[in-house]
Amino acid sequence: MAEVVSVSMSGDIALVSIDSPPVNAMDQKVRAGLKQAFEQLRTRQGVKAIVLGCKGRTFVAGADIKEFDTGIAPPGYYEVLAAIEDSPCPVVAAVHGTALGGGMEIALACHYRVAHDGARFGLPELTLGIIPGAGGTQRLPRLIPLEAAIDLILSSKPMPAAKARELGLADAVVSGDVAEGALAFARELAARGAGPRRTRDQAVLGAENAAELFETKRAQVAKTMRNRQSPLALLDAIEAAVKLPFDQGLKAESAISDRLVPATEARALRHLFFAEREVRRIPGLSAEVKPRPVTRLGIVGAGTMGGGISMCYANAGVPVTIVDATQAALDKGMATVRKNYERSVARGSLKPEQMEQRMKLLTPSLDYAALGEADLVIEAVYENMALKKEIFAKLDAVVRKGAIIGTNTSTLDIDEIAAVTKRPEDVVGLHFFSPANVMPLLEIVHAKRTAPDVLVTALETAKQIKKTGVVAKVCYGFIGNRMMDPYAREAEHCLLEGATPEQVDGALEQFGMAMGILAVFDMAGVDIGYLTRLERKHLLPDDPTFYRPDTMLNERGWLGQKAGRGYYRYDSARKRIPDPEVVELLWAEGKRLKVEQRKPGTAEIQERCLYAMINEGARLLEEGVALRASDIDVVYTSGYGFPRYRGGPMFYADTVGLKAIYERILEFRRTLDPQYWTPAPLLEMLALAGSSFAAWQAGRGNQGAIST
């Protein structure tokens, strides 16, 4: 028997135990071990019941995701789960941690489920672009009501043990040792002489109104999960459970699953699953380098960003001292934080006492000296080099030796900021995204002199506040904003060429961006980019059409949502309303500047914006600003609303084909302003070699390592 699965006896109860760190994923070894264990137990004399549990931190966390690309070696999931379900004596799952995906499907194939009170059950397959493919679509609606089963899988969110008990999924919830609890449960079954209770033999619960229910869910999914195939396919699979006998239902599930696993959507989501974990590995950084502890935080700037970052740390139980220049700014900042927490309380996601605990962790102060004890101080004032330098000089004077000083700049040269201190090795960029308490991304900017343990601390603190930290090097805009620049430049230019804001944003949203870029500008404030461009005027192209619409709106004070109008008008509920005056104004300006009126259509708008962004991404890789193509994908999907099901811009580029993108860029160079359409040398090289960003990344080994 494979050693990852062991069998032992406790009286007349057999204990089957899976031990395959880190998360007991159901890989080939686990499958083979389980099959062998249950086959042996079938014929073993004197076994009255079986408890199936896991060692380590969790019950099985799912199928081994790597196998979806390498192929599933026998025994297959169905075969293994059938061996469990066919057991002649009752099988009790002992669930602790998270029973996810294939792990939950194992639990469903068991005859009873005993859960630890901290356990959670979930089928998150849609987050991977697939459906539960080990019988989950057929067994779950036989254990909990059909609609609850559909909602659990559609949401991809695990449910707590108590809810599982309420719905009838868990037969008992225990605190303390779940194996002991399950053993006691099994003994009781044995004492009663209970036999197996096979899920497959039960009827689907709540099937009466199934037709209507599926119609509603399909309409809902078509609206909320646009451009995706797995959610609708999931509903087909669950409907098979209602319409077909169990074995035929399994066949339907299997056919759908086989179709989805190799599809682009699933490949893209798998790519992100691993990319989001890969970002933690920094080539060139020794595992010996340990992080500095971050137990007290300092923030400079009580504005939107400072407040949001403070909340992240207070949520993690870390005390925060917030310094600002005036009492009024501090009061306003603290009031905003409280309001944000109150909203969570009103929504029910936070208890009032938790809110008070978190508020108590925040100490406002007018005195920089109050930051003297902090382990990490993050400067979060507005984008202005002179101001940031002044603050860093002050911090250098008060912050204790060994503390780290971070800047939340989104565009500025961190080497220049660090140079005003006597400890540039303690300075790092920590670029949060607005709203900082919500957005999952943290760009960690490794400046020239940042010390290795400071970088490691930055990665660790990202984890501490439940963010995905991605390392970048210093350049204008780092990864995210630098790629955003050419993307938005094209969107802006299309307006001068006769496209309306709705057409531009519509094209980007049809592609799957969470929000069109013009609507994003309106939301963030049209002045933000404008002011940055003013600061960098000497570096920008000598082109009167460059971001001209943005400049015109600024000149008129049409600064977006906060002004009630920008690229669009806004009603009191901040709903976008097309503004013919803006359209006319920009068209007239386009004609005045002799911009060719191409009236670009959806495909052209998408290609121009996205290919300009991808080309810039290739440059970032050449320059070593981004360590990996997949890091760029993580930045864009977690910070910029790029659709996850397309895998991020660089993965998407590979799916289109770099040759096709390269040729289109050459065509744009002929037909549009050539100064913007020089293919990045890396893109050109890979395109001409018939290669991809993924292949380039795989072949790089330790090249591009952070030099420490």
Q: How far is the CB of 70 from ligand 3H9 (least distance, A)?
A: 11
> Which CB, 271 or 619, lies closer to ligand 3H9?
271
Question: Which one among 44, 226, 277, 591 touches ligand 3H9, defined by CB under 6 A?
Answer: 277
* Half-sphere exposure of residue 563: CA atoms within 13 angstroms, side-chain side: 18
- Answer yes or no whether residue 61 interacts with ligand 3H9 by CB under 6 A: yes
List binders of ligand 3H9 among 547-586 (CB under 6 A).
none
- Answer yes or no whether residue 101 interacts with ligand 3H9 by CB under 6 A: yes
Question: Which one among 80, 94, 99, 128 touches ligand 3H9, defined by CB under 6 A?
Answer: 128
Alpha carbon separation from 470 to 170, 432, 460, 467, 645 (Å, rounded): 39, 11, 11, 9, 20
Binding segment toward ligand 3H9, per CB under 6 A, in 126-134, 316-324, 445-453, 621-629: 126-134
- Answer yes or no whether residue 22 interacts with ligand 3H9 by CB under 6 A: yes
Q: How far is the CB of 13 from ligand 3H9 (least distance, A)?
A: 28
Question: Which one among 90, 124, 196, 307 touches ligand 3H9, defined by CB under 6 A?
Answer: 124
> Which CB, 132 or 141, lies closer to ligand 3H9?
132
Binding segment toward ligand 3H9, per CB under 6 A, in 63-71, 166-174, 360-368, 489-497: 63-71
**Which x/- pattern over 150-169 shows residues binding ligand 3H9 (rule: CB under 6 A)?**
--------------------
List binders of ligand 3H9 among 429-458 (CB under 6 A).
none
> Which CB, 157 or 339, lies closer to ligand 3H9?
157
Q: Which amino acid is residue 369, in one-letter code? A: A
Q: State the Cα–Cα distance between residues 236 and 233, nearest whole angstrom.
A: 5
Q: How far is the CB of 122 from ligand 3H9 (least distance, A)?
A: 8
> Which CB, 280 or 533, lies closer to ligand 3H9?
280
Nearest to 480 by CA among 434, 530, 418: 434
For 25, counting Cβ atoms within 10 Å of its Cβ (0-12 exposed, 13-18 middle, 19+ buried), the class is buried
Q: State the Cα–Cα distance between residues 668 and 318, nearest whole angstrom.
A: 51
Q: State the Cα–Cα distance between residues 465 and 468, nearest whole angstrom.
A: 9
DSSP string, 473-516: ESSTTTTHHHHHHHHHHHHHHHHHTT--HHHHHHHHHHHT-SS-
- Answer yes or no whether residue 25 interacts with ligand 3H9 by CB under 6 A: yes
- Answer yes or no whether residue 129 interacts with ligand 3H9 by CB under 6 A: no
Question: Which one among 102, 477, 486, 529 touches ligand 3H9, defined by CB under 6 A?
Answer: 102
Token pair listed for 432: 């949060």
Q: How many residues bind ligand 3H9 (CB under 6 A)?
A: 25
Residues of the chain by 3-state class (helix, strand, coil), percent to 5: 55, 10, 35
* HEC profile of 356-413: HHHHHCEEEECCHHHHCCCCEEEECCCCCHHHHHHHHHHHHHHCCCCCEEEECCCCCC
Q: How far is the CB of 430 from ligand 3H9 (least distance, A)?
A: 21
- Answer yes or no whether residue 125 interacts with ligand 3H9 by CB under 6 A: yes
* Cis peptide upstream of residue 364 (ω within 30 degrees of 0): no
Q: How far is the CB of 523 from ligand 3H9 (least distance, A)?
A: 31
Binding segment toward ligand 3H9, per CB under 6 A, in 101-109, 514-522, 548-556, 594-602: 101-109
Question: Which one among 44, 66, 574, 592 touches ligand 3H9, defined by CB under 6 A?
Answer: 66
Contacts of 45 (CB under 8 A, 6+ apart): none
Binding segment toward ligand 3H9, per CB under 6 A, in 129-137, 476-484, 601-609, 624-632: 129-137
In the three-class reduction of DSSP (H, G, I as helix; E, B as strand; rest coil), residue 92 is classed as strand
Which sequence positions are flagged as catalytic? 105, 125
Q: How far is the CB of 125 from ligand 3H9 (least distance, A)?
A: 5
> Which CB, 258 or 581, lies closer to ligand 3H9?
258
**Which x/- pattern over 371-410 shows residues binding ligand 3H9 (rule: CB under 6 A)?**
----------------------------------------
262-300 burial, b for 16+ CB within 10 Å, e for fewer?
eeebbbbbbbbeebbebbeebeebeeeeebbebebbbbb
Q: State the Cα–Cα distance between residues 425 and 648, nearest whole angstrom.
A: 32
Alpha carbon separation from 251 to 115, 162, 210, 232 (Å, rounded): 30, 32, 20, 17
- Answer yes or no whether residue 100 interacts with ligand 3H9 by CB under 6 A: yes
Contacts of 415 (CB under 8 A, 6+ apart): 424, 447, 448, 449, 474
* Half-sphere exposure of residue 682: CA atoms within 13 angstroms, side-chain side: 19
List binders of ligand 3H9 among 237-266 (CB under 6 A).
257
Alpha carbon separation from 88 to 39, 84, 544 (Å, rounded): 11, 9, 80
Binding segment toward ligand 3H9, per CB under 6 A, in 122-130, 227-235, 408-416, 536-544: 122-130
> Which CB, 379 or 631, lies closer to ligand 3H9?
631
Q: How far is the CB of 705 from ligand 3H9 (least distance, A)?
A: 18
Q: State the Cα–Cα distance between residues 292 and 377, nearest whole angstrom.
A: 13
Contact in structure between 629 and 621 (CB atoms under 8 Å): yes
Q: How far is the CB of 102 from ligand 3H9 (least distance, A)?
A: 4
Question: Which one among 7, 32, 59, 62 touches ligand 3H9, defined by CB under 6 A?
Answer: 62
Nearest to 18 by CA among 78, 107, 85: 107
> Which CB, 240 or 305, lies closer to ligand 3H9?
240
Question: Which one among 33, 90, 129, 133 touches ligand 3H9, defined by CB under 6 A?
Answer: 133
**Which x/- pattern over 474-503 shows residues binding ligand 3H9 (rule: CB under 6 A)?**
------------------------------
Q: State the Cα–Cα distance between residues 688 and 671, nearest whole angstrom.
A: 22
Q: How far is the CB of 38 from ligand 3H9 (least distance, A)?
A: 18
Q: Which residue has the tokens 């607005």?
A: 434
- Answer yes or no whether residue 23 interacts with ligand 3H9 by CB under 6 A: yes
DSSP, res 127: G
Q: H or E segment at 444? A: strand 441-446
* Half-sphere exposure of residue 300: CA atoms within 13 angstroms, side-chain side: 31
> Which CB, 76 or 319, lies closer to ligand 3H9?
76
- Answer yes or no whether residue 30 interacts with ligand 3H9 by CB under 6 A: no
> What is the dihedral angle through the alpha carbons of 457, 463, 468, 471, rounded to the nearest 10 degrees?
10
Alpha carbon separation from 669 to 222, 465, 600, 675 (Å, rounded): 38, 44, 16, 8
Which residues of the chain form contacts with ligand 3H9 (CB under 6 A)?
Answer: 22-23, 25, 58, 61-66, 77, 98, 100-102, 105, 124-125, 128, 132-134, 136, 257, 277
